[in-house]
Chain A
Amino acid sequence: MFRFKGGQTVGKGTYWNLSNGEGIDMDGKRPLPGGGSVKYLRLPSGGMFVLGPFLGLLFVCLLPLMSLVIALTLLSRVALASDALSSEEAGKCLSCHSSEGMVKTFKNNENVSIHIAKKHFKDTVHGFLSCTDCHADVSLDSHPSAQYKSIRDFAASISRSCRNCHTDDQILAKPMHNQAVSRANAPPCSDCHGSHSIRKSSELKQNASNSQYCLSCHQKQFSVTINGEKVSLSVNEEVLRQSVHSNHDCTDCHSAFSKEAHPVEKFGSRRELSISISGACKGCHQDKHKQLEGSIHFSMLKEGNLKAPVCTDCHGFHNVGRKAILETVAGVPCKKCHENIFEDYKESVHGVAKMSGKNAAPVCSSCHFAHEVKPALISRSPGETCLGCHKKAVDIHSEWLPNAAIHLEAVACTACHVPNAGMRVYLNATDSASGLTASASKVKELLGAGHTALTGRDGIGDRQMWDIYQALTGKGAGMSIQTTLGLRDSGESHHLASKGKAVRQCDNCHNANSEFFKSVAMTVVDNNGREEFYAVKPQVLSSIFALLPLNQFYVMGGTRVKLLDFLGVFMVIAGASFPAAHIMIRILTRRLRSSSKHTGRH
């Protein structure tokens, strides 16, 4: 109503040019002078008379106040250098880059958003810089898209600009930067520090928890390469939060690290790194570590076998889950290395029960134990392990099996409960004090030069067994030979069948022709508790020379002493031949008696 443009036909009145303040009195319908860009305000002169003092007051009072505010604002800008975004150059850059949805495609077809918003600079410590201070290869005159291969390549290029201001000395003052400076494939600065909203690390240190501080870098995607192997150093915060260790700080496990310290750790391989970090678990889980120290896995590790599993191999790194997960078919960690055995297990009576939803059914750790995993001892009956759950086994077997307790002691449960498996008789060199299988070194020491008998081509013969027995049970040796019956192949022990399929025929063993007695081995253990077998001639079982060496072992109808058979035949023939001979002589001397009788009567 009051505002008009130049060229507009207006009625009678006073019009004020807002560009130069010139007043024009119009009388009748005429166009206003000037083009469309000139703006006019229609106001009567009287009105101007009234408004004048107000405008004057504004000029006198508000202008100095506004100047003061502007000056103060500028001063603060000067104090913080100038605002990049307020710089002329930034203004030009942002005239395009402020548009949302701008995307740059690199040669490898990776897309990156090149939209820059003011909010990106809200907390930056680099507010005083201009865009080209970092994006050095871009200028106002030359703005071809730089031909980078990838985002990574682009970020690395920008990172080189950081080094223009941040000297090596300054960077290396933080240990965590060591690799960033020395390594060719070091992550670009922006991986940790961000690209546009670069904050002071001190702010982070003060306000963030240890874990937040670590995650400020480590939740980003980056990795190191150890001996050619890529090792991700990224941590998914969500995974951490869902682990049983969600209440822990990173530094609880990575104890050498803190907000202040980020030592450079050198590892020969990715595996060495895993093993090293697993050492941290001991800090809290001392009891489990104690159990682990007696395990075959720990022995392997001590031997320098890097394939030996450590805590993290079963429990994971940052995703340490609940124990119950490890006891499910899907979560059993053992299968990572023992895949074949696990497949066998799945088909066993235990595996089938487990997979059908019976949660109480055993998994690997139920029999082998999770931490104190002992070497599989095929020569020893796993009876104790089985009876841990099958508490009534002795009673149930006693219902039909004579001497059930002895059977369960000497015969491996698997020998009957794994149908059609290969059998073997094990002669265990046993340390009498501990009841455990003796070590190979101790046995060889006791045998002296005779230890070659153990590894003879045809196996240990009966007389050699006698010599071995003499050496092992001699004065001060403290050993005995304990005999057990079990499977020939430890792998087969996982084929446990259902009860109905178990061997229940006595003849299976109580028969000299039994498969059991066709394979015999003497057992010792190596320094890590793993079994070593020495072949024994099967005839040893029925040799008179084994009467004492194997005095604890006798299977009725199975391992009878051959010599007694011969003796038996001889004795029966002798017993029968006395009457036979006597009768013969009586027949031959019949006449003699009849004449003697005759004589007697007369």
Chain B
Amino acid sequence: MKKIYLHPLPIRIWHWVNALSFLMLIFTGLQIRYRDMMRVMSFETSVDVHNIFGFVLIFNFFIWLLYYVISGKLKIYIPALSPRKFIEGCIRQAIYYGYGIFRGEPNPHHSTPDNKFNPMQQMAYLNIMAMFLPLQLLTGLMMWDIKGFSSWITLAGGIKIVDTVHVLIFLFFSSFLFVHIYLATLGHTATAHIKAMFTGFEEEDEHSH
């Protein structure tokens, strides 16, 4: 059994703060949006909690950005610059998830601190971290202070559009969460990746190489 120090402490803290924030935001978001169907907490409380965790998430996003920019590790999110190489990598990974994994074939991607994500993960997380999450934070911010961001809202096409974007991204995150958690169980044991996110060390089955 081999141990790789894959997740530095700041990233682990960031991840779990993110995880808690996402869960709280999804829950309070549902409570705000489906007030007529669920009444776990009052509207005021759900809005307040949603706002608090929204700001936690914004703060956390900048922690992430700061860490990756300063450490120079941002490149782990950047897919291979050669489209051919990138597409090949994606196909290889897709074949693994859709076929190889069932045959017990090894994961074609081997995570290292400098190359943490497989090409599909790179594509997904780059979209999430560079587009969906900032957009979600921004639309959330706009709705938090409609008057203050009124010119931005007008530019975006109105509060209804802003809300629709916010909801669409929320739906994407909610459904992605299932995939994310499931994929986290696909380590050499079901809890290997999850443990690693606490300890920082990813255990690898040496036989897989």
Q: Are B178 and A589 in contact (CB under 8 A)?
A: no
Interface range on chain A (Cβ under 8 Å from partner): 35 or more
- A517 to chain B minimum Cβ distance, whole angstroms, is 10
* Cβ–Cβ contact A556 & B101, under 8 A: no
* Minimum CB distance partner of B161 in chain A: A551
Chain B contacts with A in 153-196, Cβ cutoff 8 A: 157-161, 163-164, 167-168, 171-172, 174-179, 181-182
- A551 pairs with B158, CB closer than 8 A: yes
Contact pick for A592, options B103, B167, B174, B177, CB 8 Å: B103
Given contacts A402-B47, A406-B146, contact A550 B36 (CB under 8 A): no
Contact B182 A557, beta carbon cutoff 8 Å: no
Given contacts A403-B145, A551-B160, contact A507 B35 (CB under 8 A): yes
Interface size on B, residues (CB 8 A): 41
Q: B182 touches which one: A553, A582, A592 (CB < 8 A)?
A: A582
Q: Is the CB of A557 within 8 A of B33?
A: yes
Given A403-B147, A557-B43, A589–B163 Cβ distance below 8 Å? no
Give the interface SS of chain B, mostly helix, strand, loop or mixed: helix
Taken residue by residue from 552 to 584, chain A's Cβ proximity to chain B (1 for < 8 Å, 0 otherwise) reads as 111011101100100110011011101100110
Asked whether A512 lies within 8 Å of B102 as measured between CB atoms, the reply is no
Minimum Cβ distance to chain A for residue B127 (Å): 15
User: In this assembly, does A385 line the interface, its C-beta being within 8 Å of a C-beta of chain B?
Assistant: no
Contact between B101 and A586 (Cβ–Cβ < 8 Å)? yes
The residue in B32, B103, B104, B161 that gathers the most chain A C-beta atoms within 10 A of its C-beta is B104
Known: A403-B147, A579-B178, A589-B102. A510 touches B167 (CB 8 A): no
B206: which A residues are within 8 A, CB to CB? Answer: none
A557 to chain B, nearest CB (A): 4
Say yes or no for A506: interface residue by CB 8 A criterion.
yes
- A564 to B51: give the CA distance in the assembly, Å: 22
Let me know if B62 is at the binding interface, CB within 8 A.
no
B104 touches A596 (CB 8 A): yes
Q: Which of A506, A550, A568, A597 contacts B43 (CB 8 A)?
A: A506
Would you call B160 and A506 a contact (CB within 8 A)?
Answer: no
* Given known A-B contacts A405-B147, A552-B159, A571-B172, A547 and B164 have beta carbons under 8 A apart: yes
Known: A405-B147, A551-B158, A557-B35. A575 touches B103 (CB 8 A): no
Whether the pair A512, B36 counts as a contact (CB closer than 8 A) is: yes
Contacts of B207 in A (CB 8 A): 600
Chain B residues 135-157 with CB under 8 Å of chain A are: 143-147, 157
Q: Is the C-beta of A513 less than 8 angstroms from some C-beta in chain B?
A: yes
Distance between A534 CB and nearest chain B CB, rounded to angstroms:
21
Q: How far is the CA of A513 from the CA of B34 in the complex (A)?
A: 10
Which residues of chain B come closer than 8 Å to A558, judged between CB atoms?
35
Minimum C-beta distance from A520 to chain B (A): 15
User: Which of B143, B161, B177 has a CB less than 8 Å from the CB of A547?
Assistant: B161
Output the least CB separation between B194 and chain A (Å). Answer: 14
CA–CA, A561 and B103, complex, Å: 44
Cα separation A564 to B174 with both chains bound (whole Å): 13
Contact status A575-B174, CB under 8 Å: yes
Contacts of B160 in A (CB 8 A): 546-547, 550-554, 561
Query: Which residues of the other chain, B, contact A556 by a CB distance below 8 angstroms?
Result: 32-33, 47, 143, 163
A595, closest chain B residue (CB): B104
- CB-based closest 9 A-B pairs: A575-B175, A551-B158, A579-B182, A593-B104, A589-B102, A557-B35, A575-B178, A506-B43, A571-B175
Q: Which residues of A contact B (CB under 8 A)?
A: 402-403, 405-406, 506-507, 510-513, 546-548, 550-554, 556-558, 560-561, 564, 567-568, 571-572, 574-576, 578-579, 582-583, 585-586, 589, 592-594, 596-597, 600
Between A and B, 10 residue pairs with Cβ closer than 8 Å are A551-B157, A564-B164, A564-B171, A568-B167, A571-B174, A576-B178, A578-B179, A579-B179, A589-B103, A592-B104
